[in-house]
Structure 1
Amino acid sequence: MASVAFGYLPILLFLIVALGLSAAFVVLPMIVARFTGAHQPDPQKLSEYECGFPAFEDSRAQFDVRFYLIAILFIVFDLEAAFLFPWAVSLGVTKLVGWIAMMIFLAELGLGLAYAWKKGALEWE
C-alpha cells in the first residue's frame, strides 16, 4: 500500500511547486508594488481599457461594437503569426507546395486586411 502512495509523490511535489510558484507570481508583484511606490491608483489607471465600457452598469445599455471588431481582427492576424512559425520550420519538408499554400493564405489575409481598412474597421475616434 505504501508503494502505491509513494508512486504519487512526484505528482504531489509537482502540484505543491506549481501552486507555490503561481501564488508567488501573483502575490509578489503586488507586495513589491506596495513597497516601491508603483501602486498609485488614479482614475485614468482604473478606467476601462479592455471592453470599452464600464463593467458593472445596466446590462441593457448600448455599447460600441467597434472594439469587438478590432479585437476580432487582432485575433485573426495574431493567428496568422502563429501559423507562420511552424510553416517556416517545416518549409524544408513541404518545399514548393508548402510555400505556395502559405502565399495563398497570406494573400487571403492581405485581401481581408485591405477590405477591413477600406471599410474603416481600423479607424478609432
Structure 2
Amino acid sequence: MPEATVRSTADAHAAVPLAADYFQSYSVVGLLAVVGVLFVAVAFGAGRLLRPVVPTPEKLLTYECGVDPVGEGWAHTQIRYYVYAFLYVIFAVDSIFLFPWATVFAAPGFGGATLVEMFIFLGFLAVGLLYAWKKGVLEWT
C-alpha cells in the first residue's frame, strides 16, 4: 500500500471525533462535580463530629441584634418595604445594562442603533416609574 494512502486514511480517522473523545470532556466535568460534592460532604461531616453540642435554654432562644425576643415570632411587615426593594432591583438592572451599552455605543458603526435601543429601554423604565409615582408608591407615609 502506498504511503500517501495510509496517511490520508489515518488523517481522515483522526479528523472524525470519536465518541470516547467526546465523552471524555464530560467525564472530567462529572469527576470535578463528584469531587466538589465529596469535599462539601466531608467538610460538613467533620464539622458535625468536631463541634461541641451542649444545648441550653439560652442557646435555643431566637437571637437578633442582641435584643431578647418579646412576644410572638410573627410580625407584620408593611408592603412598601418590598415595593422599594423591587424598585431598587429594577434600577440596579438598569445601571448594569448601561455599562455594556456604553462600550458598544463607543464602537464605530453602532451609534445610531444602540442609541435608539437605549431610549426605548429608558422609556420602559420611565413608564414604570411614572406608574409607581401615580399610584403613590414613592410617598413615604
- TM-score norm. by structure 1 comes to 0.51
Note the alpha carbon deviations across 1:67-114, whole angstroms, 9 max, x for none: 010111011112211211221121033221111111100000001001
How many pairs does the alignment contain? 72
Counterpart residue identity of residue 96, structure 1: G
Matched, 1:79 2:103: no
Q: Mark the structure with the bigger radius of gyration.
A: 2
Pick aligned residue for 2:80 from 46, 66, 77: 66
What is the alpha-carbon distance in structure 2 between the residues aligned to residue 56 and residue 87 of structure 1? 51
Whole-angstrom distance in 1 between the partners of 2:114 and 2:70 = 48
**Aligned twin of 1:116:** 132
- Taking the aligned partners of 2:79 and 2:71, their CA distance within structure 1 comes to 17
Higher relative contact order at CA 8 Å, sep ≥6: structure 1 or structure 2?
1
- Deviation of the 1:58 alpha carbon: 3.6
Query: TM (normalized to structure 2)?
Result: 0.45
> Which segments of 5 or more consecutive residues in structure 1 lack a partner in the other structure?
1-45, 47-54
Task: Structure 2 unaligned segments of length 5 or more: list them.
Answer: 1-64
RMSD across aligned positions (CA): 2.2
